[in-house]
Structure 1
Amino acid sequence: MTGPHTIKVELPTGLMELSVDAGAFSVDELMGFAARANAKRGFLFLSKVLGKHWPVRPSLMRKIHMDLAGQVPADLAGPVVFIAMAETAIGLGQGVFEAYKSAHPVTEALFLHTSRYHVGGAEIIEFSEAHSHAPRQFLHMPQDAELRALLLSAKSLVLVDDEASTGNTFLNLSNACRALNPHIEHVHLATITNFMGKAANEALSQRFGVPVSIAASLSGEYVFTAGNLQPSSAAAQVFEAHADRGANGDFGRLGLNRALAAPHALAQKLAAGIKAGEQVLVLGTGEFMHLAYLLGSALEALGVDVLVQSTTRSPILKWGAVSQALSFADNYGEGVANYIYNVTLGQYDHVLVCHETPPNEALYSTAQAVGGRLFHFLSENHIEEISVR
C-alpha cells in the first residue's frame, strides 16, 4: 500500500500538480508523465502497464486486468456490456472483460470496442472524444442476432479506458448507449488511473442520469496549468464513412461474448527458435492489440523473456516517460503518422509484429526498420507469417 502524497512536474507544455490517494500501487509502478503534441491537451499520464506506449510484461498486464475486473461490482444486473475505448484501451478492456468472464462464467456478458474504422457495413453509433488527437469514434452494432440482443437488453454497462481525467468521453459514450438501450440501469467506469477527484466522482450519477460507480488501480486529482502547448501539424484522422481500411470485425468491433483463444501453436513454434537469454518484443499495430498480448502471454508461459507493446497514432514529445520515438507509415492507409515509443532499434533479439490489415508497404517498412517478422491474424485461429521482402 502507498500513502497519499502530492507530485509536481514541470512539463514542456505546462505544470502538472497531482494529488494521489492511498492505494495498492504506486505512481511509478503504473505510470510516468509525458507531454503531448496536442493543443487541446498538453499532457499524458503514460501508462507503464497498458502495453501501448511502454513495453510491458504480459503477466503485469494480466495483473491489472484482474485488478480492474475484481473491482467491478459483484451485484451488477446482467446482461453486462463491456466497452473498451479506441485506440489506447482496446487491449485493456478486452483483458478486463476476459478476466471478468473467467470469474463470472454464468453471467451473460458482451464485449465491444470502439473504433475509428467502419467495418462490415454494420450500423454505427458515433460519439466524440473531444480532447483526443483523433476525436471521432464509432461503436458498431453487432451483426450476430444473439450478440445484438445482449447489447439491446443489457442492464449494466462497464466502460473501460486507461485513464479518467474529466469523464467527458465516458459520458458521451454512456449517452449514446442509453439512447440505444434505455434498459441500462447502472454504469461502471474502470480505469487504470482516475484523477477526476472526489467531488467529480461523487457527482457522476447525477451527471450521467443513472447510478454510476468507478474503480481504478490508482486514484487522485490533478491540476494542469497549460503553458506552451505544442500543436501537431500532422493529420490524425481521415474520416470516410464506409472505409474499413482493412480492419477486421472478428476481434471485438462487432461484439464477442467469450474470450479469444490464445495462439498457443504459434507460440510453441516461435519459442523453438528463441534462444535462452534472448529478448522478444510482440508489437501490436494500432487498434489491433489484444491478440499481441495473447501471443505474448503464451510465449511468457513457455519461459520466453517477452514484452508487449503497440504502435499508436498519438503524437507525444520526446521528454519525460518517452525516451525514444520512432515514426512509421500507417498500415491502415489513412496517411496518418504512427509511432513506437520507448523502443530503440536493435534493442530486441526478436520483434514479432501482429496485424489485422492485409500486408502493405507500411507493414513491410515497419518490419524492416525494427528487424521484425510480420504475422497476419485473419482470425484468432488463422495466422499467416508474411515474408518481409
Structure 2
Amino acid sequence: MDDAADDGWLWEALGLTAEVTEDVTGAGLRGMIGLALRRNPRRAHLLVSRVLGKHLPVRPEVALGAGTALADWARASSAVGRAGGAPFVLGYCETATALGHAVADGFADADYLHTTRRAVAGMRSELELAEAHSHAVHHWLLPADRRLLTDPRPLLLVDDELSTGNTALGTIRALHALAPRPAYTVAALLDARPAAARTAFDELADELGVPVDVVSLVSATVAVPPDIADRARALRARHAPPAPGGLAGAGPDGGSTGAGSTDTGLTDGGTGTVSWVRPAWPAELPDGGRHGWTPRHRRLLDEVVAGLAASVAARLVEPGGRTLVLGTEELMYTPMRLAAALGRATGGETRYQSTTRSPVHPLDVPGYAIRCALEFPAPDDPSRASQVYNVPARRARTGDPSPASRASVGDASVDPYDDIVVVVDDGVDAAAPAVGEGPALAGLVEALRRCAPVTVVTLPSFVPEGAR
C-alpha cells in the first residue's frame, strides 16, 4: 500500500479522529496532509501538508497551484471576494510565506506582506503577534511602507493550517484598531478548528460590525484526546529514529545522528561538490515579502527568474536529473519560482521544499510523513537550530539507494537527489548573539553536500531605505 494512504496506524496510536466537512479539492484529508510527531512540549503532533512545499518535497507547480486554488476559492466565496477590488494579503511566517505570495498572485493589483521572526536593524515593528502554541512564539510586521497597514482595503490573511484561529483573530483585532477595514477573510489550505473556535469568528464579526469569515480547501474537525502528549511520548520512545545510512536521521534529543552513509560515492571524501551563484539582482526587487511585495515586484521577478534558472542550470552536475531546490525558512517564494523555472529549463525532475525552525521527530516507518532529518545552525542566526526533512543520504552513483530511500511520501519519494540547489539571502538576524557580517552557511552546506552536490544561490537581502 502507498505510504500516503497507509498512515492510519499513527492516527489510531495518537487517538486522533477527523470528520471532513468540506473538500474543495476532492483530494480528501489524507490527500492533503500526512502526520508526524513534534519535538515541541506545547504540541504533540504535526499535520504535514503534502502541497505546501515546506516539510515535504513537492513539484513547485503543485505548491503554486495550491495558492492559485485558494485565491480562486476566496474570490468566489469569501467576504473579501464579495467586497471587490484588490485586497491586502497578509501571510504568516514561516510556513505560509510562499503560500501567501501565491494567493496574492491570484488577485490583480494585490499588495502582499508576511510576518517575520527576523529582527532587522534600524526597523521598528508595527505590530507584534504571538502564537502561544508555537516553537517560536513571536513574530512581527515590518512593512517598508506603513500605508500597507493603514489603507482601508479588505484584508485577506493566509495560513497553511488553522488549528485554533487565535492568531488570526488577534491579528484582525489589532489591525482593525489601527485602521478599520470593510471585510476580513482568513484563507487556509486546511481548517482544522474545533467547533468552539469556529464560533469565535462570528462573534468577532458582531463585535467589529464587519464581515469576518474563513475559507479553506479542506475543512475538518480533528478530535484530539487529552492524553495525546503521553501517547506521542510513548511512540517516540518505541520507534527509534533511523540510523546513519540510507536515510539521514535526527536523534531523540533532536541532534543529527549523521548526514548519511560514508560510502556515498561522491567527490571530496564522500561529500558532494559545492558551487556558488550570486546573481545580478535588481536593487529594487526584494528577495521576498518581509517588507512588502507589490504587483511591480511580481512583474520584476517574472522578468528575471528564467535568467536565474539558466545560471543555476549551468552549475548542476546532472541538469536533466533529479534536483531539489531548497528555500530557507521564510525565504520560500522566490526559490519556489526558481524551482518551477529550473524544471522548465532542464526538463529534469525538480522538487521544492524549505528548511524550517519546526522540530519534528523522524521515523523511518511506512505511513509516517517525516522519514529522515538533517539539523544544522540557522544561516541567519547560528545560535539556534534549523532543520530540513526527507532529504536522504546519497549512495554511490553506481549502486542502488537503500530500500528505505525509495519510500513514497506524498507527491515526491524519499529518493536521493542528483543535485541540491539551496537559496539563501545575505541578511542576518540583528537580535542574534552569534552573527557576523553575513549568513553562516557552513553547517547547512556541510549537511547537504553529504546528500548531493550543492549549488548555493545567494540573493541580496532587501533592506528598506529608512533602515540602511
Q: Is the 8 A contact 2:169 2:201 kept in 1?
A: no
Q: Is the 8 A contact 2:377 2:383 kept in 1?
A: yes
Give deviations 1:146-196, integer Å, cap 9, x for gaps.
xx3242113311111110111011112222222222x21211111111111
Q: Which residue of 2 aligns with 1:304?
A: 348
Q: Within 2, Cα distance between the matches of 1:175 and 1:362?
A: 41
Q: Which residue of 1 aligns with 2:456?
A: 374
Q: Is the 8 A contact 1:58 1:296 kept in 2?
A: yes
- Point out the more displaced range, 191-200 or 345-354: 191-200
Q: Within 2, Cα distance between the matches of 1:176 and 1:362?
A: 39
User: In structure 1, which of residues 362, 370, 378 is the aligned counterpart of residue 443 of structure 2?
Assistant: 362
Q: Is the 8 A contact 1:110 1:151 kept in 2?
A: no
Q: Which residue of 2 aligns with 1:318?
A: 362
- Point out the more displaced range, 76-85 or 209-218: 76-85
Which structure dedicates a bigger proportion of its chain to helix? 2
Q: Within 1, Cα distance between the matches of 2:332 and 2:94?
A: 9
Q: Which residue of 2 aligns with 1:240?
A: none
Displacement of 1:334 in angstroms is 4.6
Q: Is 1:38 matched with 2:5? A: no
Q: Residues 224, 9 of structure 1: CA spacing in aligned structure 2 closer, same or farther, 3 A cutoff?
A: farther
Q: Which has the larger radius of gyration?
A: 2
Q: Within 2, Cα distance between the matches of 1:157 and 1:189?
A: 8
Q: Residues 8, 251 of structure 1: CA spacing in aligned structure 2 closer, same or farther, 3 A cutoff?
A: same
Displacement of 1:79 in angstroms is 5.4
Q: Is 1:329 matched with 2:377? A: yes
Q: Within 2, Cα distance between the matches of 1:9 and 1:161?
A: 28
TM-score by length of 2: 0.69
Q: Within 1, Cα distance between the matches of 2:460 and 2:59?
A: 25
Q: Within 1, Cα distance between the matches of 2:449 and 2:318?
A: 21
SS at match of 1:335: strand
Q: Which residue of 1 aligns with 2:116?
A: 115
Q: Which residue of 1 aligns with 2:51?
A: 49
Q: Within 2, Cα distance between the matches of 1:150 and 1:333?
A: 28
Q: Residues 14, 177 of structure 1: CA spacing in aligned structure 2 closer, same or farther, 3 A cutoff?
A: same
Q: Is the 8 A contact 1:11 1:34 kept in 2?
A: no
Q: Is the 8 A contact 2:287 2:334 kept in 1?
A: no
Q: Within 1, Cα distance between the matches of 2:313 and 2:90?
A: 33
Q: Is the 8 A contact 2:93 2:330 kept in 1?
A: yes
Displacement of 1:58 in angstroms is 0.8
Q: Which residue of 2 aligns with 1:261?
A: 301
Q: Within 2, Cα distance between the matches of 1:276 and 1:316?
A: 32
Displacement of 1:315 in angstroms is 0.7
Which structure dedicates a bigger proportion of its chain to strand? 1
Q: Residues 9, 198 of structure 1: CA spacing in aligned structure 2 closer, same or farther, 3 A cutoff?
A: farther
Q: Which residue of 2 aligns with 1:128?
A: 130
Displacement of 1:256 in angstroms is 1.4
User: In structure 1, which of residues 182, 187, 190 is the aligned counterpart of residue 184 of structure 2?
Assistant: 187
Q: Which residue of 1 aligns with 2:322?
A: 279
1:255 maps to a residue whose letter is G
Q: Is 1:91 matched with 2:98? A: yes
SS at match of 1:37: strand
CA RMSD of aligned residues (A): 2.7
Q: Is the 8 A contact 1:77 1:155 kept in 2?
A: no
Q: Residues 322, 135 of structure 1: CA spacing in aligned structure 2 closer, same or farther, 3 A cutoff?
A: same
Q: Is the 8 A contact 1:284 1:354 kept in 2?
A: yes
Q: Which residue of 2 aligns with 1:349?
A: 418
2:422 maps to a residue whose letter is V
Q: Residues 343, 286 of structure 1: CA spacing in aligned structure 2 closer, same or farther, 3 A cutoff?
A: same
Displacement of 1:362 in angstroms is 3.3
User: In structure 2, which of residues 71, 74, 88 is the aligned counterpart of residue 72 of structure 1?
Assistant: 74
Give deviations 1:274-315, integer Å, cap 9, x for gaps.
647510000011111111101001112232310001111111
Q: Is the 8 A contact 2:189 2:217 kept in 1?
A: yes
Displacement of 1:10 in angstroms is 3.9
Displacement of 1:350 in angstroms is 0.7
* Identical-residue share of aligned pairs (%): 32
Gaps of 5+ in 2: 1-6, 76-80, 237-251, 256-284, 395-415, 427-437, 463-468
- Point out the more displaced range, 271-280 or 55-64: 271-280
SS at match of 2:193: coil
Give deviations 1:324-369, integer Å, cap 9, x for gaps.
1111111112521111111102210010000013342334434434
Q: Residues 117, 222 of structure 1: CA spacing in aligned structure 2 closer, same or farther, 3 A cutoff?
A: same
User: In structure 2, which of residues 152, 155, 159 is the aligned counterpart of residue 154 of structure 1?
Assistant: 152
Q: Is the 8 A contact 1:83 1:159 kept in 2?
A: yes
Q: Residues 278, 79 of structure 1: CA spacing in aligned structure 2 closer, same or farther, 3 A cutoff?
A: closer
Q: Within 1, Cα distance between the matches of 2:177 and 2:449?
A: 46
Q: Is the 8 A contact 2:36 2:361 kept in 1?
A: yes
SS at match of 2:383: coil
